[in-house]
């Protein structure tokens, strides 16, 4: 099993600095292209916990996670993300990370909405993205997803629940919560879907999904499998929305075996 060390970076972006951390295996000779992690709607680098280091050890690859603008340790953001924020991440923010961390080629791995962003990146950068891995990704605005968000919004009305976000996002916590709930529950967002994006993805895709996911049914991985030319799905029985935390050994094994 490879040893690794973590290195922190600040990526410059017109909107503000973006915080990134990479786990570098030792030795690096012969390692595959880096894996870039895209977090969920309330996530950040720290909320990946020990998954990035374990992933680096299991695959022998450099693993990079970053806080989207406004999240975690990245600079605060005043405006609310637009209805098109998922595509915008691939179009307007990820390129700065890729350029400044010198990512010629990479694998995009995203959890939840980060999975949708990884798919957008795969479609937008076919010459650079070698593979896409999604964990509990949403690919359309499903009623089940919106119901889960409404329930979570009610829970976060309790100060103790909001304090959980403050631990990771500091004073940005109210913005982070609003960026999630307001945009997803906007009636305009109900028409969002990746149905036109998925067929444009040329690289292999691995979609991992728990069959008890409270934020998205198995319709999401099935749509990925149907529309992406080179897609494989793995449904995990009894697993909810965070497979990498609920069943890390299985998820790491699936990812490790996905690579040639």
Q: Residue 5's pLDDT is what?
A: 79
**Residue 62 has which token pair?**
């450099």
Residue owning tokens 């075996």: 257
Please check whether residue 93 is in contact with residue 64, taking contact to mean a CB–CB distance below 8 angstroms: no
1-34 pLDDT, tens per residue?
A: 445 678 999 999 998 999 999 999 876 555 789 9
Q: What is the pLDDT of residue 3?
A: 59
Least confident of 31-40, 59-68, 153-162: 153-162
Position 4 scores a pLDDT of 66
Instruction: Report the candidate in 252, 245, 247, 238 with the shortest Cα–Cα distance to residue 210.
Output: 238
Average pLDDT over residues 118-124: 98
What is the pTM (predicted TM-score) of this model? 0.95
Q: Are strands 129-135 and 106-111 parallel, antiparallel or unpaired?
A: parallel
Torsion angle of C-alpha atoms 193, 198, 200, 205, degrees rounded to 10 = 150
Dist CA 211 CA 238 (whole Å): 6
Which CATH number fits the domain that encloses residue 66?
3.40.50.1820
In whole numbers, what is the pLDDT of the chain averaged over residues? Answer: 94
Range of the domain at 69: 3-258
Domain count, the chain: 1
């Amino acid at each position: 099993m490879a040893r690794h060390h973590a290195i922190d970076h600040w990526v410059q972006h017109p909107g503000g600095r973006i915080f990134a951390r990479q786990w570098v295996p030792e030795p690096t000779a012969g390692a595959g292209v880096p894996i870039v992690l895209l977090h969920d709607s309330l996530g950040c680098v720290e909320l990946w916990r020990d998954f990035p280091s374990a992933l680096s050890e299991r695959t022998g690859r450099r693993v990079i996670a970053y806080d989207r603008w406004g999240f975690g340790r990245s600079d605060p953001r005043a405006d609310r993300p637009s209805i098109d924020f998922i595509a915008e991440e691939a179009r307007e923010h990820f390129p700065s990370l890729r350029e400044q961390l010198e990512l010629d080629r990479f694998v995009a791995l995203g959890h939840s909405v980060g999975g949708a962003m990884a798919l957008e990146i795969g479609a937008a950068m076919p010459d650079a993205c070698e593979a896409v891995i999604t964990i509990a990704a949403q690919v359309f605005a499903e009623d089940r997803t919106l119901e889960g968000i409404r329930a979570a919004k009610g829970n976060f009305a309790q100060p103790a629940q909001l304090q959980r976000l403050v631990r990771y996002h500091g004073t940005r916590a109210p913005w982070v919560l609003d960026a999630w709930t307001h945009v997803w529950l906007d009636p305009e967002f109900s028409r969002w879907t990746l149905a036109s994006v998925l067929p444009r993805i040329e690289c292999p895709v691995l979609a991992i999904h728990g069959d008890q996911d409270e934020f998205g049914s198995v319709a999401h991985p099935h749509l990925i499998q149907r529309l992406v030319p080179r897609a494989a799905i793995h449904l995990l029985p009894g697993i909810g929305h965070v497979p990498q935390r609920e069943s890390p050994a299985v998820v790491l094994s699936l990812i490790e075996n996905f690579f040639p």
